[in-house]
Structure 1
Amino acid sequence: MSSRYAKPQSLSVAGEEYRIFPLEGLDAPGDAASLPYSLKILLENLLRHAGEDFVTDDDVEALLDWDPQAEPSQEIAFVPARVLLQDFTGVPAIVDLAAMRDAMVDLGGDPAKINPLSPVELVIDHSVMVDYFGSEDALEKNTEVEIERNLERYRFLRWGQKAFDNFSVVPPGTGIVHQVNLEYLARGVFSAEVDGQRLAYPDTLVGTDSHTTMINGLGVLGWGVGGIEAEAAMLGQPVTMLIPQVVGFRLSGSLAEGATATDLVLTVTEMLRKHGVVGKFVEFFGPGLASLSLADRATIANMAPEYGATCGIFPVDQKTIDYLRLTGRDENQLALIEAYMRAMGLWHDDSAPDARYSSELGLDLGEVVPSLAGPKRPQDRIALSGAAAAFGDVLREFHELRVAPAEQADWAEEGGSPEAQPEAVHGVTVEREGQRFQLNHGAVVIAAITSCTNTSNPAVLIAAGLVARKARALGLQVKPWVKTSLAPGSKVVTEYLERTGLLADLEALGFYVVGYGCTTCIGNSGPLPDEITDAIRAGDLLVTSVLSGNRNFEGRIHQDVRANYLASPPLVVAYALAGNMGIDLASDGLGQTANGKTVYLADVWPTGEEIDALVAANVDPSMFKARYADVYTGNEVWNELPVADSERFDWPDSTYVRKPTFFDDMPASPAPLGEIIGARCLVKVSDSVTTDHISPAGAIAPDSPAGTYLVEHGVAQKDFNSYGSRRGNHEVMMRGTFANVRLRNELAPGSEGSWTTCFVDDKRMSIFDAAELYREAGEPLVVLAGKEYGTGSSRDWAAKGPSLLGVRAVIAESYERIHRSNLVGMGILPLQFLPGQSAASLGLDGEEHFDIPTIEPGQERVEVIARENGGEPVIFEAVIRIDTPNEFTYYRHGGILHYVLRRLAGSA
């Protein structure tokens, strides 16, 4: 099938001829030049694939004729140039591919057809935990434990590396996936031989981590998807999407002295959450771009999931080229990137035409102030000046929940007010390592410099080192109850901290390197010292963490830490010195010198000039080239892992990697869609339930269904590892679904954790046990939810787990983009209450039986009947959130992977 729009031209760069698909001069409606940068990338993608069976001229015309104000309705296909994985989400993705090879044989097909068609890179970065800290050998010990715990997973990945083409693995101990992507993996522009000609096209990607968007800072279009969608992309299935609305964010001015890129991204996150950008693209433009380093831009792009956008992209300009040169990219590649971007009208400078946007908002960078975000959502920004007072409000609310009604009445009779209730416990005395101290509410028990958001940014890490240096010179020490850690995003970070001498200053305050990977931010904070844990539990203390991460959802950081705050690396050091979130760093000080003089934050805070001078003198291309020269090599332990040379995986008796049941007894053709009759509600939740709530990533409790399963299979508690590390075992993960310790299921009022009421026998039990009883009774299940259901990580197990438990539909007030897509991808029907309606407004308490008729392609609404014993049925309409025709195809097949498998087997 030909296309009248696909008109390739030749581009000559350094003696090489490339075939490109220019955007200008198309004989079509609309104005390509004024399209937003991100839509131009999508347009090129359509032009390059025009004439293939999934792209028509109508698609090209729809994008060229894009109406910024129109609600998205036109479906297009997007073919990413590559796929990026990390090990928590990557292991189950490769497990699925291995299981699909087995299923392909069962369907009479060729298992070799299950193979990535485009480059797939997996970075092992989520497995290291902070078991050891505050000592010179912390890195060595944590690495040793990591390898020991994860040998089964690593052996499996080594098999996958050999069994699949186009699949590369970056071994453990290298860095965080997004920083490695930014510093090394990103191409900027791809080139490949196609039909005897060398083709040049934009570097684009999808990734199984929601913070894949960090690469948007480099002008590379990409975003996070669930593992199931990424697997389909690996196997040649285009990503289908509606042409999105694009929000323009105008930046002006420059950051004031004392403000950091972290403060900026927390401000941007707050603004965009209020504006509403879920399912939309965000583009940053304006004169303020010139004052932001590439690392600053990447910091903002990283947190697109936190502000809810599909992507948060910056254009390619001279700073992009300068950064690529700084990080050791080849000069010929840099020449190609610049020439290609200029030829395609994608290069940004003062002469670039203004783009049309669906809406705009702006920020004067000079108005950004030092900030934190917390205690449980990234968008809840707090100015540093008001942090102590804000924590006071959190503590007051905590006490109101804890103090019994009778005690509240007694206090009121004595003339007290609810705002001034006495604390149930003022503190607990702790003796640890020869020190005796009082642990109080607000104690900062974790201070972690971690996460891709900030460890890719030399300015904020140098700033943290300078705070440590100045505090050390004044004789300050970190409080004895603080667990400190430094988890760089790449080994380059360690090198420039060593060059400046700042690593020694950080170590003097306990911030030793604990590993190279995503630690505290993903829930791999490791255990607190026993004495601290005992005191927290004995006093029912509301303790806190401060981390330079991007996620602080409930139960994520540590199960005993209820209030978690995101902050810049220098503020992490400052709070470790102060030791309590209730301290006003400006007026109360960080501590005292030996002669009793109070040291304030201003006394240790570095100037921009100091930071810039150290960055300029100590960060250069040689360190990037040296550190990434052997990026795929790994250490001796990794390279000595036995590798099976087999097309199909020989599934071992493992508690880490098991053959999933998704494709068991799968027929060659899908069964006709049917109605859902008599479904019972398994879980009923309110607003902002995250994928962390649905599919935890942290510790596995010994008394949980997952813990019980591991014990029954001979695993000692010390070897439980985490939910994230066991995502290759569906038995663990289905038991861990809805197992977050902070989940509040309204079907089990007054409880926290994995509890529900099972209406088979009206007993309270674990959600997993209830699902098993419903399965035995032959009753399908639904979930009732509020707004922003599934916010947070691009966690496919948040859809896989409910599917295995028997959930057939979710009815929510609204969804986050990735999770809604994942539900469809697992054959779960996402329904949405009509505007203004909710479970509460309709009087649904979750005890009803739900009937949902069979749906048809293109159907927008469905009538749901909720029947409760002895009562009148509640009949209401719900919006069917299967947003595209392709999604309906996936749903009809029982999931996207089922469809792809049948297509490759020739039966779809």
Structure 2
Amino acid sequence: MHYLDIPNSPLKALDYRALLGDRTRTLPYSLRVLAENAARHSTEGEAALQVAARKGDAVPFRPARLLLHDMLGIPALIDIMAIRDHLEAHGGDPSTVDMSLPVDLIIDHAMSINHWADKFALEQNMQREFEVNRERFAFLKACADRFPRLRVMPPGSGICHQVNLEYLGHTVLPSNENPHLLIPDSSLGTDSHTPMINALGVMGWGIGGLEAEALLFGETSSVNVPRVVGLEVTGAPSHDITATDIALVVAEKLRALGVVDTFVEMFGTGYNTLSVADRATIANMAPEYGSTMVFCPVDENTIHYLNQTGRGEHSARTQAYCQVQGLWNDGVDTAIEYDEVVHIDLSQIGRAVSGPSRPEQRIDLADATKQLTSVEEADHRVAVVDQSGSLPAHDIGNGDVIIAAITSCTNTANPRNMIMAGLMARKAVAKGLQVKPHVKTSLAPGSRVVARYLKQSGLQEDLSKLGFEIAAFSCSTCNGMSGPLHPAHEETIRAHDVKGIAVLSGNRNFAGRIHPLASRNMIASPPLVIAYALAGSVLTDISSAPLGHDQDGAPVYLDDLWPDADEVSALIEAHVTPEEFRDNYNSIDTINAQWTAMQVGAGRYDWTPSTYVSFPPFVKDIRAANTPVTTLRGLRPLVILGDSVTTDHISPSGIITPESEAGQFLQRHGVAHRDFNSFGTRRGCSDVVIRSTFANYRLRNEMVPDREGSWTSIQPEGRVTTIFNAIETYLGREQPLVVIGGKEYGCGSSRDTAAKAPWLAGIRAVIAESFERIHRSNLVNMGIAPLCFPEGVTRKTLELDGSELFDIHLNEALTSAELTITREDGRKTTTPLDLRLYNDAERATFSEGGLLPRAFRKFLAGAA
């Protein structure tokens, strides 16, 4: 292979274009980056030609680095620790199981908003976070001490994707394998919102924890060359909208188009009107419309952002490399051929929200009241009885906003969005407006830099007066860690079945995700979160009705508070500076004194009894010899589900209630209710993970159509019970299980517990109409068969009710399958199934029973 000189640099660039010839001109930028990576990881660069052919062939891909967060990083690291011990028990060398590339793990998913609207809220929440999560944090620190290539950023550092965008991402960097070679930065992460880094011209997407483990074990991913949909943006956005409004339009259009397993790439005459922060808001929501990533080619805005965020030393090198490699977007490249093009005129976009339970359910702001509420709701209001005396006299009713949270890396990484929210607050305070007493307000930026510029600009003072005190530097409400409401509100809502609403500036509003007492969830831009907190109810049309009244009794409207574009720009110019970013990240490893002071033991990890960290059964049960399974007999359905079942439904991450199976388990083990934490933070304990299986409070199982929640019917007796009780019953009978689903099964977060929990429950196959990308991969890596009904066949056409028995036969090549359904009366129905194993690497993994058994046997064979 040939190499190229890079101006003003001693490093070289791989001349991948010499392999491709003239075909490079028509390749989207994202495929050029993929081709360069494939060339480096294949013999004589031959895989680059497969990328250029664009026929969907599998090519090798290995990222420059990995990004983990604590909720998915801990289960992955537990697996690795367990594999080391299991290998040692079988005579292998545990030191061979190590990190094979740089890994950044950021503790950002554990913080719950237990304190809010108080100047000490952040301090109190961080103290509480450490108290509850000490066992988890000690495990992570033990891992950091044992694995030199693992860097763990302490609690309070920020949200992993925002830190990745502002600090870790370099667009171009030296290769791990060859320090004399400069390569495009690439980052895969154990969170579905990893595509946020695409805004910086960095190739990256979300993967399951199991796929991350394979990369850590030294393997190379196998990627099928995808379709590339061009997202053409034209026009310029008005000052009345935010990047959130643009992202919601993109989510609506692309989810309707269908872009699962697809790269989306931005281009067009309006592309240069979008800052990197704007692009990040759009790219962050890639999983909300199902695409693998939203690639944003490198241009002048990329260089400006690197300089603005304190990485000026990388900007000249980045520009020179991208120009040499054909990766520089100068706005005049018209030769690129996309598989399909979607057009968006930025000038035609207006203010919007999304709801009530899906990010792509975009609603024009003027239509929000009509579409999210009913006339009958206005009649239901009740007085709040507050025994503590901490609340003013007030009532609460259907449609009232019970949570207003400015949260999530999606929006808090965007200075324009945050400055606009701060200016909204300033104007509201000046007019004497106040947030309604039934609204829980919180501000949880994804970066400490946000707190710096809000404080220095004086905007934090105004936000605080409305109750938007900084309460966390973490995912918080967006990840279902919204914490409790005021006890008086919780009691009133439960007693009178009040249909309250959560409004957040996040990326996900799935049913049951934000808070169990929120009947609906709305995504809105940060300034609109402020507006809804002031109005206090979705029954108020904030586009036309007053948000409140000023000191003189005059009505105050949204447009009265909306910030001036020039004022926003001036504050960004004055306060969002390179020095702020450099100062923040130079000291980020020491911002948490409790983390710094924590001591952990050395040597072999001690698996002490814990409800946070336990030795996983799916490692303990691995045998040295493999016995491939090609027939699954006598499976019973655990659940029969409809369309768009999310990983939140399959294995929730939010609050554990006392009455839940997980809550009862924790109580039996001496854990007080206040210390339950969440499903997500307890993913390292298999006993909690199995009890999370389909434990969502809003689950709809068609086997029990009159129930909502974690219910099913045990067969053949037809007894209705909790899903976990059914799991225990079936495990006692050694009864293997199957799940039946509809379209887009497994959409949402990348959590591997949505595959590990079913495995622990005895589920060996999932049959659906279609799968979301990451969840399908997780199923394969747990050895659970992902199967699709043929076109025109569904659970409805087969008239399934859950009383059936299923036999699934897989052919020896693992390329097809056949299903035989046996009804209660003995009738049999046979139909072919599409076995969703996409390449030889996946077939080999599935044949071994999953990734962990395959990796274990590989390490064991290496020792022999």
TM tier, smaller: over 0.9
Alignment of 1:567-578 (within 5 A): 567-578=524-535
Q: CA deviation at 1:900?
A: 1.9
**2:831 is the counterpart of 1:876:** yes
In structure 2, what is the equivalent of residue 600 of structure 1? 557
**2:719 is the counterpart of 1:736:** no
In the alignment, the residues of structure 2 paired with residue 477 and residue 706 of structure 1 have an alpha-carbon distance, to the nearest angstrom, of 39
**2:164 is the counterpart of 1:184:** no
In structure 2, what is the equivalent of residue 335 of structure 1? 316
CA RMSD of aligned residues (A): 1.6
Alignment of 1:487-502 (within 5 A): 487-502=444-459
In the alignment, the residues of structure 1 paired with residue 828 and residue 663 of structure 2 have an alpha-carbon distance, to the nearest angstrom, of 40
In structure 2, what is the equivalent of residue 417 of structure 1? none
In structure 1, what is the equivalent of residue 40 of structure 2? 48
Q: Deviations over 1:82-120 (max 9, x none)?
A: 110011111111111101111211332211111111001
Q: CA deviation at 1:18?
A: 1.6
Aligned match of 1:244 in 226, 229, 239? 226
**2:109 is the counterpart of 1:165:** no
In the alignment, the residues of structure 2 paired with residue 27 and residue 685 of structure 1 have an alpha-carbon distance, to the nearest angstrom, of 46
Aligned match of 2:367 in 355, 367, 386? 386
Question: Residue 266 and residue 686 in structure 1: after superposition, are their counterparts in 2 closer, same or farther (change >3 A)?
Answer: same
The count of aligned residue pairs is: 861
Q: Deviations over 1:828-877 (max 9, x none)?
A: 00110111210111111121000011332252x32201112214112111
In structure 2, what is the equivalent of residue 399 of structure 1? none
Q: CA deviation at 1:353?
A: 4.5
In structure 2, what is the equivalent of residue 298 of structure 1? 280
Q: CA deviation at 1:536?
A: 1.0
**2:583 is the counterpart of 1:626:** yes
Letter in 2 for 1:899: R
In the alignment, the residues of structure 1 paired with residue 785 and residue 671 of structure 2 have an alpha-carbon distance, to the nearest angstrom, of 36
Question: Residue 799 and residue 193 in structure 1: after superposition, are their counterparts in 2 closer, same or farther (change >3 A)?
Answer: closer
Aligned match of 1:864 in 788, 810, 819? 819
In the alignment, the residues of structure 2 paired with residue 706 and residue 615 of structure 1 have an alpha-carbon distance, to the nearest angstrom, of 46
Letter in 2 for 1:348: N
In the alignment, the residues of structure 1 paired with residue 359 and residue 209 of structure 2 have an alpha-carbon distance, to the nearest angstrom, of 24
In structure 2, what is the equivalent of residue 796 of structure 1? 752
In the alignment, the residues of structure 1 paired with residue 801 and residue 832 of structure 2 have an alpha-carbon distance, to the nearest angstrom, of 17
Aligned match of 1:31 in 10, 18, 23? 23
Q: Deviations over 1:495-541 (max 9, x none)?
A: 10011100000001000000110000000100001111111112211
In structure 2, what is the equivalent of residue 18 of structure 1? 11
Aligned match of 1:255 in 222, 237, 243? 237
Q: Check whether the contact 2:737–2:762 (CA below 8 A) recurs between aligned residues.
A: yes
Alignment of 1:215-614 (within 5 A): 215-331=197-313, 333-392=314-373, 395=374, 425-431=380-386, 433-614=390-571
Q: Check whether the contact 1:784–1:846 (CA below 8 A) recurs between aligned residues.
A: no
- Tell me whether 542-551 or 630-639 shows the greater mean CA deviation: 630-639
Aligned match of 1:85 in 43, 68, 83? 68
Letter in 2 for 1:32: T
In structure 1, what is the equivalent of residue 792 of structure 2? 836
In the alignment, the residues of structure 1 paired with residue 705 and residue 281 of structure 2 have an alpha-carbon distance, to the nearest angstrom, of 40
SS in 2 for 1:158: helix
Q: Check whether the contact 2:42–2:60 (CA below 8 A) recurs between aligned residues.
A: no
Aligned match of 2:85 in 97, 102, 105? 102
**2:770 is the counterpart of 1:811:** no
Letter in 2 for 1:101: R
In the alignment, the residues of structure 1 paired with residue 254 and residue 705 of structure 2 have an alpha-carbon distance, to the nearest angstrom, of 33
In structure 2, what is the equivalent of residue 679 of structure 1? 635
Q: Check whether the contact 2:65–2:102 (CA below 8 A) recurs between aligned residues.
A: yes
Letter in 2 for 1:479: K
**2:190 is the counterpart of 1:199:** no
In structure 2, what is the equivalent of residue 902 of structure 1? 857
In the alignment, the residues of structure 2 paired with residue 720 and residue 13 of structure 1 have an alpha-carbon distance, to the nearest angstrom, of 57
SS in 2 for 1:24: helix
In the alignment, the residues of structure 1 paired with residue 176 and residue 614 of structure 2 have an alpha-carbon distance, to the nearest angstrom, of 38
In the alignment, the residues of structure 1 paired with residue 377 and residue 33 of structure 2 have an alpha-carbon distance, to the nearest angstrom, of 59
Q: CA deviation at 1:802?
A: 0.1
Q: Check whether the contact 1:683–1:756 (CA below 8 A) recurs between aligned residues.
A: yes
Q: CA deviation at 1:182?
A: 0.5
Q: Deviations over 1:429-472 (max 9, x none)?
A: 44452511120110001000000100000001000000000010
Q: Deviations over 1:265-315 (max 9, x none)?
A: 001110111111011000000111111111001111100000110001100
In the alignment, the residues of structure 1 paired with residue 673 and residue 321 of structure 2 have an alpha-carbon distance, to the nearest angstrom, of 55
In structure 2, what is the equivalent of residue 9 of structure 1? 3
TM-score normalized with structure 2 length: 0.98
Q: Deviations over 1:781-809 (max 9, x none)?
A: 00000111001000100000001100010
Q: Check whether the contact 1:139–1:513 (CA below 8 A) recurs between aligned residues.
A: yes
In the alignment, the residues of structure 2 paired with residue 708 and residue 182 of structure 1 have an alpha-carbon distance, to the nearest angstrom, of 40
Q: CA deviation at 1:193?
A: 6.7
In the alignment, the residues of structure 2 paired with residue 855 and residue 814 of structure 1 have an alpha-carbon distance, to the nearest angstrom, of 21
Q: Check whether the contact 1:760–1:773 (CA below 8 A) recurs between aligned residues.
A: no
Letter in 2 for 1:893: E
Letter in 1 for 2:726: A
Aligned match of 2:118 in 135, 146, 157? 135
Q: Deviations over 1:668-717 (max 9, x none)?
A: 23112231111000011101110000110111121221111111111011
Letter in 2 for 1:547: L
Alignment of 1:659-808 (within 5 A): 659-759=615-715, 761-808=717-764
In the alignment, the residues of structure 2 paired with residue 606 and residue 482 of structure 1 have an alpha-carbon distance, to the nearest angstrom, of 23
SS in 2 for 1:149: helix
In structure 2, what is the equivalent of residue 65 of structure 1? 53
In structure 2, what is the equivalent of residue 890 of structure 1? 845
SS in 2 for 1:856: coil
Q: Deviations over 1:588-616 (max 9, x none)?
A: 21001122111111111112112111111
Q: Check whether the contact 1:425–1:540 (CA below 8 A) recurs between aligned residues.
A: no
In the alignment, the residues of structure 2 paired with residue 497 and residue 60 of structure 1 have an alpha-carbon distance, to the nearest angstrom, of 46
Aligned match of 2:131 in 115, 133, 148? 148
- Tell me whether 674-683 or 206-215 shows the greater mean CA deviation: 674-683
Identity score, percent = 46
Q: Deviations over 1:725-765 (max 9, x none)?
A: 10111110111111010011112221122111111543222
In the alignment, the residues of structure 2 paired with residue 193 and residue 256 of structure 1 have an alpha-carbon distance, to the nearest angstrom, of 44
In the alignment, the residues of structure 1 paired with residue 579 and residue 591 of structure 2 have an alpha-carbon distance, to the nearest angstrom, of 20
Q: CA deviation at 1:37?
A: 0.8
Question: Residue 138 and residue 21 in structure 1: after superposition, are their counterparts in 2 closer, same or farther (change >3 A)?
Answer: same
Letter in 2 for 1:389: K
Q: Gaps spanning 5+ residues in structure 1: where? A: 1-6, 397-420
Letter in 2 for 1:243: V
Question: Residue 24 and residue 61 in structure 1: after superposition, are their counterparts in 2 closer, same or farther (change >3 A)?
Answer: closer
Q: Check whether the contact 1:237–1:900 (CA below 8 A) recurs between aligned residues.
A: no
In the alignment, the residues of structure 1 paired with residue 316 and residue 381 of structure 2 have an alpha-carbon distance, to the nearest angstrom, of 64
Question: Residue 162 and residue 434 in structure 1: after superposition, are their counterparts in 2 closer, same or farther (change >3 A)?
Answer: closer
